[in-house]
Amino acid sequence: MIKTVPTKPYTDQKPGTSGLRKKVPVFQQEHYAENFIQSIFDALEGFQGKTLVIGGDGRFYNREVIQTAIAMAAANGFGKVMVGQGGILSTPAASNIIRKYKTFGGIILSASHNPGGPHEDFGIKYNAGNGGPAPEKITDAIFEKTKTISSFKIADIGTVDIDTIGTFKAGGITVEVFDPVKDYAELMESLFDFDAIRANFKYGFRMRFDAMHAVTGPYAKEILERRLGAPNGTCRNFKPLPDFGGHHPDPNLVHAKHLYDEMMGPDAPDFGAASDGDGDRNLIIGKGIFVTPSDSLAMLAANAHLAPGYKEGLKGIARSMPTSGAADRVAEKLGIGIYETPTGWKFFGNLLDAGMATICGEESAGTGSNHVREKDGLWAVLLWLNILAVRGESCKDIVTKHWEAYGRNYYSRHDYEEVETDRANALVDELRAKLGSLPGTSVRGLKIASADDFAYHDPVDGSVSKNQGIRILFEGGSRVVFRLSGTGTSGATLRVYIERFEPDKARHDLDTQQALADLIAAADDIAGIKNHTGRNKPSVIT
Ligand code: VG1
Ligand code: CO
């Protein structure tokens, strides 16, 4: 029943920030998905007879590739596959299943916040036995295998029923189709004070959760409405759709603008939240106030002890380099470690495994903790709900009090999407070449204190990751950071991260773009963004 099928390598299968992401028609090329899956298996050792978790975010092409992955796992010698019912499994839920059932690892099919559909994006990523995204050592090995692959193995088992919960044999392998929500909901119940949150809803606390037609819908329905008693209708767009209803399942102020508008309106609920394609990101908006992801990380860390799962306090906080320094101030006050890592959740795994960090976050709307090894959208929402229920204050009060206590880090990210790759590379090359000459010079009245290309030295395994983003640090603590996205699927996306610290309470309610205006202008002066990209303004501002 096992076939060995000859194939030819593709040259473009290098995993990015989070797995391999390409347009669906690229994945539909002959043996494209098979090559990558076989390369994953070829880069791993010791999985004979062991269990592989398989699931995805329900996007277009999900079901097809799940069948392929099951048949290939069988042919390559796995003993069992665990598949989320209907092929559905959020990224954090997959991480939990891998850890809880001590499986060998998992394959998650998702392009996360990227749009879905026949001409949109698809993705495949591998998570290791700790439940976290494969570290660079493994993704590099996978890429090497994709360059020389000459055949793949697949079992001839026909279409497996992934819609009915149960355990059966197919092609010599055990297939367990499980409820993708249950274990995750139990994990959340173990971390948070569900009684307090339930009581809050009972006494009229109102929230809106927008699942953006992505994978979090079933999780949010079960946890918020069924287990926590939020009124029916609290969750919107909760049915996962293969094309996310034609939208980008990216919970930011552009793609979730309707939620923002609602939260700023006269009859706004107390709390609004949204999640992305694969359920690992979160958007947090209180009544009348947007909470930036960097601020949210700091505020969750400062208040985490109010939730039962974190009542002993935190061991440390980790944030990606472009994420604002707001969390650093909390770590300092708590007297715990703060770690600065490159962009991408795979860099948090070692710190979490070593017990050095408890809470991690990224400016791109990802927050999570040591409960799994991925960022976790609903987790962040539930921690906020727990904090709101215990403190009995509004989100806005909690935010403004935090700024009063710690100061405010004004923060924004400007994205220039689908820039011609050559032009984006030219911008970065030019910037890199002049880094040495920048310190000591002034731009728009701002003096540059230092400039470098961020390199990370992992304190746990000693590995070094270079070229992780160009940092221009100004005297007084403001900064701009430049890097190219590693998740886009057409052209290049330039991300410019801008940050200014404001200790003065009287200056905490400025408009963010205005508060950062001189830095934004300085960023263009330094990098020649308009010249290089040919754009007058960013495509997305978050
Ligand atoms: C982006 C974000 C990064 C995040 C990654 C995956 O990467 O900036 O913080 O970890 O997406 O998130 P990049 O390379 O495009 O900047 V997800 O929710 O798309 O898995
Ligand atoms: Co995601």
Task: Per residue of the chain (542 residues), give pLDDT as tens.
Answer: 899 999 999 999 999 988 999 999 999 999 999 999 999 999 999 999 999 999 999 999 999 999 999 999 999 999 999 999 999 999 999 999 999 999 999 999 999 999 999 999 999 999 999 999 999 999 999 999 999 999 999 999 999 999 999 999 998 899 999 999 999 999 999 999 999 999 999 999 999 999 999 999 999 999 999 999 999 999 999 999 999 999 999 999 999 999 999 999 999 999 999 999 999 999 999 999 999 999 999 999 999 999 999 999 999 999 999 999 999 999 999 999 999 999 999 999 999 999 999 999 999 999 999 999 999 999 999 999 999 999 999 999 999 999 999 999 999 999 999 999 999 999 999 999 999 999 999 999 999 999 999 999 999 999 999 999 999 999 988 999 999 998 888 889 999 999 999 999 999 999 999 999 999 999 999 999 999 999 999 999 99
Residue-level pLDDT at 171: 80
What pTM, to 2 d.p., does this model score?
0.95
- CB 323 near ligand 1, within 6 Å: no
Could you say which of 95, 110, 112, 412 is catalytic? 112
Closest CA to 280 of 212, 188, 376: 376
Contact 465, 347 (CB under 8 A): yes
Distances in whole angstroms, Cα of residue 68 to Cα of each of 97, 308, 335? 21, 41, 49
- Report whether residue 345 contacts ligand 1, using a CB cutoff of 6 Å: yes
- Name the burial class of residue 38, with classes exposed (0-12), middle (13-18) and buried (19+) by CB atoms within 10 angstroms of its CB: buried
Q: Is 341 in the pocket of ligand 1 (CB under 6 A)?
A: no
The bound ligand whose nearest atom lies closest to the alpha carbon of 345 is 1
pLDDT at 476: 87
Neighbouring C-beta atoms of residue 432, cutoff 10 Å: 15
Using CB atoms within 10 Å of the CB of residue 406, give its burial: 0 to 12 exposed, 13 to 18 middle, 19+ buried.
buried
For residue 167, count CB atoms less than 10 angstroms from its CB and return exposed for 0-12, middle for 13-18, buried for 19 or more.
exposed
At 258, phi and psi to the nearest 5?
-60, -40
How many A from CA of 521 to the centre of ligand 1? 25
Rounded CA separation 192/225 (Å): 16
Token representation of residue 161: 């029923």
DSSP β-bridge partners for residue 170: 173
- Max distance between CA atoms of the chain, in angstroms, equals 72
d(CA 402, CA 539): 31
Known active-site residue 112: yes
Q: How far apart are CA 15 and CA 58, in angstroms?
A: 21
Contacts of 207 (CB under 8 A, 6+ apart): 201, 224, 230, 234, 269, 270, 271, 272, 273, 385
Both tokens of residue 318? 């980790």
Residue 10: alpha-carbon gap to chain centroid: 27
Of 500, 334, 352, whose CA–CA distance to 412 is shortest? 500
Q: What is the pLDDT of residue 488?
A: 81
* Buried residues in 253-285 as b, exposed as e (16+ CB within 10 A): bebbeebbebbeeeebbbbbbbbbbbbbbbbbb
Report the residue among 59, 114, 363, 487 best suited for mutation to probe ligand 1: largest number of ligand atoms under 8 A from its CB.
Answer: 487
Cα 109 to middle of ligand 1, angstroms:
15
**537 to 113, 292, 510, 521, 527: CA distances (angstroms):** 22, 21, 21, 11, 14
Report whether residue 479 contacts ligand 1, using a CB cutoff of 6 Å. Answer: no
Contacts of 85 (CB under 8 A, 6+ apart): 162, 163, 164, 165, 177, 178, 179, 180
